[in-house]
Structure 1
Amino acid sequence: MANIEILTAEQLLDSASLDLGHSDWLTISQERINLFAEATGDHQWIHVDPERAATGPFGACIAHGYLSLSLVNLFLPQLVEIRNISMGVNYGCDKVRFPAVVPVGSKVRGQGKIIHSVNKGAFIQATIRVTIEIQGSDRPACVVDTISCYTFDTPTTNSNN
């Protein structure tokens, strides 16, 4: 169940700066890293060779930056549920950053905030900042502004945003 439910287009349009709270913690296992390497073809030793990585700059394997980014798909539905829509699609991302590495065995979670929403006529375009936090770290693994488009079952009457 999501921390926040958005029920109408008007509610989404009026949600700028809304704090979405935090998702559950997730442990980053070597198996998850290896599966991501298989899916993407990125088998760099820093990710998939524990013996070599132990002597490398981080002392262990680290998650791919794009693995951290992909976890937005897991965390976002825990943060917010947009209801009463006929369709929601990913439009893209802005300002993707990877401030810290995620060593194998780390726990991460998503923290969210709605940055802004704009009425585009047939749909509402919402930008949500998701910060992938690392337990015990002052710096996040990833910060991304996700952009999604939502078509509500009932058209919006608020066109001033």
Structure 2
Amino acid sequence: MNPVKITSFEEFKAFEGKEIGVSDWHVIDQKQVQQFADATLDHQWIHLDEERAKETQFGGTIAHGYLTLSLAPYLWEQIAEVSNLKMMINYGIEKLKFNQPVRTGSAVRLVAKLNSIVDLRGVSKAQLDITLEIKDEKKPAYTASLVFLYHFQK
């Protein structure tokens, strides 16, 4: 999949109110869950104890909610290649709702829509409405609005 190329406020603005795209599927495996647990010091058994987790309603381990959220920038880069930048800043996350857990071994993908973009004296404030879909599931893992500040070069 080729990402959409965006090099200016005007090019970004053309997507306002529209879906920009969908990422490729990404499988969250047990190794990634373990690495996230080690990096964040969150070693709750539902993420790591495969035998014990088999006895739960999930039938196995689940990915950390924040692991699934942390995949957003990686998956976003598959949707849009925003370049010609001095800098990009993660500004905020609004309306985050975890809808259901992601079972380890499941594939997820990001759907991104540009809710709004405004020019704040040369800084572009973009609000992206995102959904993390889980393959073969009706409900998404989460929905949220990501806010980025893009400092495009002239």
Match of 1:140, SS state, is coil
Distance 1:132 1:75 in 2: 10
CA contact (8 A) 2:8 2:152 kept: yes
Question: Counterpart in 2 of 1:15?
Answer: 15
Question: Counterpart in 2 of 1:158?
Answer: none
Which runs of no fewer than 5 residues in structure 2 stay unpaired?
A: none
Question: Counterpart in 2 of 1:157?
Answer: none
TM-score by length of 2: 0.94
Q: Structure 2 counterpart of 1:97, which letter?
A: K
Question: Counterpart in 2 of 1:159?
Answer: none
Distance 1:129 1:140 in 2: 13
Q: Structure 2 counterpart of 1:43, which letter?
A: H
CA RMSD between the two structures:
1.3
Question: Counterpart in 2 of 1:71?
Answer: 71
Q: Structure 2 counterpart of 1:10, which letter?
A: E
Question: Could you tell me how far 1:141 is from its partner in structure 2?
Answer: 0.8
Question: Counterpart in 2 of 1:152?
Answer: 152
Q: Structure 2 counterpart of 1:11, which letter?
A: E
Distance 1:2 1:26 in 2: 16
Question: Could you tell me how far 1:122 is from its partner in structure 2?
Answer: 3.1
Distance 1:83 1:28 in 2: 28
Distance 1:105 1:44 in 2: 18
Distance 1:57 1:43 in 2: 19
1:110-159 CA deviation, whole Å, 9 max, x = no partner? 111111001111301001122111000001112121111011111xxxxx
Distance 2:25 2:108 in 1: 5
| Count of paired positions | 154
Match of 1:63, SS state, is coil
Percent identical residues: 38
Question: Could you tell me how far 1:55 is from its partner in structure 2?
Answer: 0.7
Question: Counterpart in 2 of 1:132?
Answer: 132
Q: Structure 2 counterpart of 1:122, which letter?
A: G
Q: Structure 2 counterpart of 1:54, which letter?
A: K
* Matched ranges for 1:1-161 at <5 A: 2-154=2-154
Q: Structure 2 counterpart of 1:45, which letter?
A: W
CA contact (8 A) 1:15 1:117 kept: no
CA contact (8 A) 2:92 2:148 kept: yes
Match of 1:75, SS state, is helix
CA contact (8 A) 1:63 1:101 kept: yes
TM-score by length of 1: 0.90
Q: Structure 2 counterpart of 1:79, which letter?
A: I
Distance 1:8 1:25 in 2: 28
Which runs of no fewer than 5 residues in structure 1 stay unpaired?
A: 155-161
